[in-house]
């Protein structure tokens, strides 16, 4: 018992010492960073003769609706402090100073002593902490002067950041040609809503320490956005990577398979919400069309409820390493992004084949394709012959395309909507009835049984 008490006392003593050391280390950071802000202000005022920051003026065009399907442009400008320009001029002077080195060492000592992992890239005190500290401070003041209260405020943010297990990333996915009756949440940290002024500023804004700007400066006021926030644990890129997965895979697949509609999607921006340990800004390139045609993507109140349910259930498939519904799901996505209509037809038929045939079947594929497909698509038995005829023609189109026969665009355009809706409805039939199955065998058996019943 005595040995147990002694061991417990040692553990408590070590914990207490670590806590006391941590408090002292944080005090060291506060004092060193406060001196650094004072010194930075002094250097700019005295050595460079500056009392105010110059401003960046970033022009962009706000496109606003101006009638059915039309937009008119209004020229706008985003003004922001050009801290980067000043910093590059005085960088060598301030980073070589004794005060800078003290602040650098104070932060590094805390990180090393407590065995803290860097949140992303290997920790660089200057670019991960000290430059963002100064940037945060001068954004608060708006001009070049020392204010103790504001210095304390931004230094407290730094301390809070250092004590956090991770930090949040935000992603804004731009949705073009989508309209819903109200904003909604797919998950607690995934919100679909109309674009607002803060979003526009975030999309147009550039890094405060860089003159590079790579966002298309045409912003549409009737865009919707999907705002995604994810925690990034220390030493990983899990949060950032998850936002990218949602933007480029999960969201595209969910919207595409849920209903028909012409929609554009792109990752507008992904960045950390913290001023410290930033790992850069990710943007998503050009707008991707995820439909081969059709009307705008409108969501009623009831459809929003159904989409939220669909999203949650779909995650079960997306999170699996292998699921038989993944192949047709991805073929649906590919088909909507193809430049050539013939390629879209091939994608649709491949997706349908994966659902309407089994691995053991090697003959009469086209026959099974049209017969089984008609059973699911026809709401009434009397409608089956019509679906058999259409599916047979669709399969014939696919065969002619892969064997090099030229198909007129008019013929392809006639069958594309049918092919898309057929894959969507048949996939959903399996999704609703055979979600937990390892393959499509049970579904095939059910279809064949229905065929046998007169």
pLDDT given at position 86:
62
3-class DSSP state of 219: strand
Whether residue 124 has pLDDT greater than 70? no
For the stretch 161-197, what's the b/e string if a residue is b when 16 or more beta carbons lie within 10 angstroms of its beta carbon?
A: bbebebbebbbbbbbbbbebeeebebeebbebbbbee
Q: Percent of the chain scored above 90 by pLDDT?
A: 40
Between residues 179 and 142, the one the model is more confident about: 179
Q: What is the pLDDT of residue 393?
A: 95
Contact assessment for residue 421 and residue 427, using Cβ atoms and an 8 Å cutoff = no
Q: Which residues contact 453 (CB under 8 A, 6 or more apart)?
A: none
What's the pLDDT score for residue 20?
Answer: 55
Instruction: Using alpha carbons, select from 134, 145, 143, 82 the residue that is nearest to residue 104.
Output: 134
Task: Look at residue 234 in the predicted model and tell me its pLDDT.
Answer: 78
CA nearest neighbour of 331 among 350, 316, 314: 350
pLDDT digits (tens, 9 = 90+) for 278-312: 666 777 777 888 876 668 899 999 999 999 999 99
What's the token pair of residue 131?
């430059």
pLDDT digits (tens, 9 = 90+) for 339-368: 899 999 999 999 999 999 887 776 678 888
Residue 388 sits at φ, ψ, to 5 deg, of: -60, -45
- Going along 43-110, which residue ranges are E strands? 55-65, 71-81
> Is residue 271 scored above 90 in pLDDT?
no
What does the pLDDT look like over 161-200, one tens digit per residue? 888 888 889 999 999 989 999 999 999 999 999 999 888 8
Question: How much is the pLDDT for 12?
Answer: 46
Give the per-residue pLDDT at 17: 42
At 446, the pLDDT band (50, 70, 90 cuts) reads very high
Neighbouring CB atoms inside 10 A of 81's CB total 19
Q: Let me know: does 244 contact 282? Beta carbons within 8 Å.
A: yes
Containing 173, the helix (H) or strand (E) segment is strand 166-176
Are the beta carbons of 296 and 177 closer than 8 angstroms?
Answer: yes
For residue 317, what are its two tokens? 């498939």
Phi and psi of 278, rounded to 5°?
-65, 145
DSSP 238-285: HHHHHHHHIIIIIHHHHHHHH---B-EEEEEEEEESSSSS----B---
CB 157 within 8 A of CB 315: no
What would the pLDDT profile of 332-346 be if each residue is shown by its tens digit?
A: 988 888 889 999 999
- Up-side HSE of residue 275: CA atoms within 13 Å toward CB? 22
Other beta carbons within 10 Å of 246 = 24
Q: Give the chain's end-to-end CA distance (angstroms, integer).
A: 81
Residue 121 has pLDDT above 60, yes or no: no
State both tokens at 282.
């990710």
- 5, pLDDT greater than 70: no
Distance CA 262, CA 26 (A): 54
pLDDT digits (tens, 9 = 90+) for 406-444: 889 899 999 999 999 999 999 999 999 999 999 999 999
Residue with tokens 């101006």: 66
Spell 360-373 as b/e; 16+ CB within 10 A means b. Answer: eeeeeeeebbbbbb
Q: So what's the pLDDT on residue 444? A: 92
Between the CA of residue 440 and those of 316, 347, 358, 437, what are the distances in Å? Answer: 17, 19, 7, 7
Q: How far apart, in Å, are the Cα atoms of 392 and each of 189, 364, 371, 377?
A: 45, 12, 9, 14
Instruction: Tell me the pLDDT tens digit for each residue of 238-247.
Output: 888 999 999 9
277 neighbors 329 (Cβ within 8 angstroms): no
Q: What is the DSSP letter of 123?
A: P
pLDDT at 430 (0 to 100) = 97
324 confidence band (pLDDT: 50, 70, 90): very high
Query: Which tens digit of pLDDT belongs to each residue from 205-233?
Result: 655 444 444 455 678 888 999 999 999 88
Strand pairing of 184-187 and 288-289? unpaired
The fraction of the chain above a pLDDT of 70, given in percent, is 84
C-alpha triplet 259, 264, 269: angle, nearest 5°: 125
Average pLDDT over residues 378-386: 93
* pLDDT tens readout for residues 44-68: 888 777 777 777 777 777 888 866 6
Domain ranges across the chain = 2-54+81-163, 165-319, 321-454
382 secondary structure, DSSP code? G
Which secondary structure element, helix H or strand E, spans residue 332, and what is its range? helix 326-337
Please give the mean pLDDT across all residues of the chain: 83
> 397 is written with which tokens?
């189109």
Pairing of strands 264-272, 166-176: antiparallel
- Whether 310 contacts 254, CB under 8 Å: yes
């Amino acid at each position: 018992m005595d040995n147990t008490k002694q061991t417990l006392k040692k553990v408590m003593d070590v914990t207490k010492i670590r806590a006391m050391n941590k408090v002292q280390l944080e005090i060291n950071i506060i004092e060193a960073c406060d001196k650094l802000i004072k010194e930075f202000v002094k250097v700019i005022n005295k050595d460079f003769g500056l009392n105010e920051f110059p401003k960046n003026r970033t022009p962009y065009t706000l496109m606003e609706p101006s009638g059915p399907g039309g937009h008119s442009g209004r020229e706008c400008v985003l003004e922001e402090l050009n801290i980067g320009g000043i910093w590059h001029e005085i960088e060598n002077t301030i980073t070589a100073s004794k005060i800078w080195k003290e602040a650098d060492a104070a932060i590094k000592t805390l990180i090393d002593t407590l065995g803290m992992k860097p949140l992303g890239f290997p920790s660089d005190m200057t670019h991960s902490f000290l430059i963002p500290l100064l940037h945060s401070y001068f954004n608060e003041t708006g001009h070049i002067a020392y204010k103790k209260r504001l210095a304390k405020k931004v230094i407290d943010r730094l301390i809070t950041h250092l004590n956090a297990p991770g930090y949040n990333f935000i992603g804004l996915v731009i949705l073009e040609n989508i309209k819903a009756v109200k904003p909604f949440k797919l998950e607690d940290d995934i919100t679909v809503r109309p674009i607002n002024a803060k979003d526009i500023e975030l999309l147009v804004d550039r890094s405060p320490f860089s003159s590079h700007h790579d966002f298309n400066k045409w912003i549409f006021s009737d865009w919707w956005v999907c705002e995604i926030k994810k925690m990034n644990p220390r030493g990983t890129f899990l949060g950032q990577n998850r936002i990218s997965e949602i933007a480029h895979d999960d969201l595209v697949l969910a919207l595409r398979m849920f209903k028909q509609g012409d929609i554009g999607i792109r990752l507008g921006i992904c960045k950390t919400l913290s001023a410290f340990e930033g790992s850069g800004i990710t943007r998503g390139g050009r707008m991707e069309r995820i439909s081969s045609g059709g009307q705008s993507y409108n969501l009623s109140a009831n459809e929003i409820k159904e989409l939220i349910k669909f999203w949650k259930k779909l995650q079960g498939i997306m999170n699996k390493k292998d699921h038989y519904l993944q192949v047709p799901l991805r073929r649906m996505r590919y088909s909507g992004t193809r430049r050539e209509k013939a390629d879209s037809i091939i994608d649709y038929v491949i997706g349908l084949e994966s659902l309407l045939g089994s691995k053991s079947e090697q003959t009469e594929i086209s026959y099974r394709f049209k017969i089984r497909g008609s059973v699911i698509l026809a709401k009434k038995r009397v409608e089956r012959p019509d679906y058999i005829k259409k599916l047979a023609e669709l399969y014939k189109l696919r065969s002619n395309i892969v064997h090099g026969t030229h198909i007129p665009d008019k013929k392809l355009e006639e069958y594309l909507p049918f092919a898309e809706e057929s894959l969507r409805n048949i996939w959903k039939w399996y999704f609703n009835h055979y979600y937990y199955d390892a393959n499509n065998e049970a579904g095939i058996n059910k279809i064949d049984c229905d065929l046998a019943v007169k």
